[in-house]
Structure 1
Amino acid sequence: MRGKTHIVGGIAASLALAQLYQYDPGIAMGAGVVGALVPDICHSGSKIGRKFPLLSKLVNKVFGHRTFTHSLLFFAIIAFVLDIYLSNDAIRAGFLAGLASHLLLDMATKNGIQLLYPIKFTVRLPLTAKTGGKVESIVFAALSLLSFYLGYIAFAYYL
């Protein structure tokens, strides 16, 4: 999936959690966007890869694309680190919701991800889409509408 689809997926996931757990939706949403972009640090052409080119090239050289940073192991390590260093539940939950949405969206692509890394086994959903294709555009539109709806509810309730 492209960066904009990951961003809107992170927004939708983090706003859903913000509403469910009554977190500050603005904080959760901001963290969700960051969490949704982080797994693609392994790709130098991604939004985050272009912001941190040296780190991106290093991660790609060591692990490759859609391996470690797209795995449950990475998710668990990030969750552990956030739990130790962050006391704000909205940031932690939003970030992890964004990261989880990224993994789910990339499982919906033909290339899939190595969710069980270091086990070399590609996981993809039964229905997949081409990155940048028409189906991704539909997913983007649906997630955008969902984000507006969840944002309206979350902000109205929180304020």
Structure 2
Amino acid sequence: MLAAAACWAMPAHAAGAQTFASRCAMCHQANGAGLPGQFPRLKGRMGAIAASKEGRAYLIKVVLFGMFGPIEVDGKRISGMMPALGSMSDQDVADTLNFAVMLEKPKKAVASFTAGEVKAARAAGSLTAAGVAKARAAAAARGAIP
């Protein structure tokens, strides 16, 4: 039974890795370390963000709708732009987020993102990149985003 479960998980991991490599690694780097001052690190942060409902919603929104403007990560200001990747399928978004969470094993178990979760966020309505930045600022102020 475990072997069958492992086989089912492999394609999603592979798909997430492939999409991350082609869509995310140029800015966030293949290992998720980011580029200081330009693009935030994902490694070691994604699990903490994905651990809360508000953080999960933010991660999905930032992939779907993009974001621009200054943010603070690790005590340093970053001014950059995340392009909207809403043309990706719901499954591709979920797989990519799951891969990014696992760049460094989270300290606490995190539920996997699902295509249904992404579909629901997409159906809730489109945001502008500035709207996502406002949502991020509010979530960060409440501690949902480290």
Q: TM-score, normalising length from structure 2? A: 0.32
Structure 1 or 2: larger helix share? 1
Q: TM-score, normalising length from structure 1? A: 0.30
Higher Cα Rg, which structure: 1
Q: Which has the higher contact order (CA 8 A, sep 6+)?
A: 1
Structure 1 or 2: larger strand share? 2
